[in-house]
Structure 1
């Protein structure tokens, strides 16, 4: 009997250790930011979009208007147990270009420089244009006049 109690105690301790081991934080890395040594090779006023892309790689994303900038983004996300994933670090390198495509500025940002911006996809429906077949059918039921159909009018 004492031997079974010893095994049960060992199993409980083993399960507790394994349960605590499952709660270790998990880290995921996303994106790419060039190293400082590679960024120091880029010369403001000399390098162009093509030379930047060939020397440090293609960007994560580019500026919306006329390719006004290259953005290199790297994030580190921590997941701990069943809690919501949390961004623990984010680095952004923005390389701006003038209208001729020559580097005009190089900036580096992190989480300490501002708030995390949550991107939401929002679609705005214009009023009155969402007329499906079923909606048109139901709307026209109120306009139905039986007398005009039977010719009694």
Structure 2
């Protein structure tokens, strides 16, 4: 049986380095309030919709208060990507550029919600692992499923390259 080899992406490595540097080592450490505080981002939950805002030194993420907790975490990581990696007002930008930012935010969300360095304790070959990850990381099951699928897809591509 061939062992899967997986090389984390640059973005995955960046997220893991940031988390480890800030003492975020286990799924139970990933409180959105702590992460936002460490980054100097003002976190609110007082609007019925989710958005991020940045102007000068003010960085703000509002997460909709009426979402279930696992969806709030997904929304937070999505907006965190916009703060970290994007610039400009999406309302004013061309649709193709906005779509590019949204795809990037989706990838970031998966990596930030379930960071690579926290996966070493899990048996990813288990067919039901996404349910365990969803519960442990308090994220929607589809996020966990996609995380595992990305690992297998990228590991398989690498194996084919060297076969």
Higher helix content, 1 or 2: 2
Is TM (by shorter chain) over 0.5? no
Higher strand content, 1 or 2: 1
Q: TM-score band, normalised by the shorter chain? A: under 0.3
Higher relative contact order (CA 8 A, sep 6+): 2
**TM superposition score normalised by structure 2:** 0.25
**TM superposition score normalised by structure 1:** 0.26
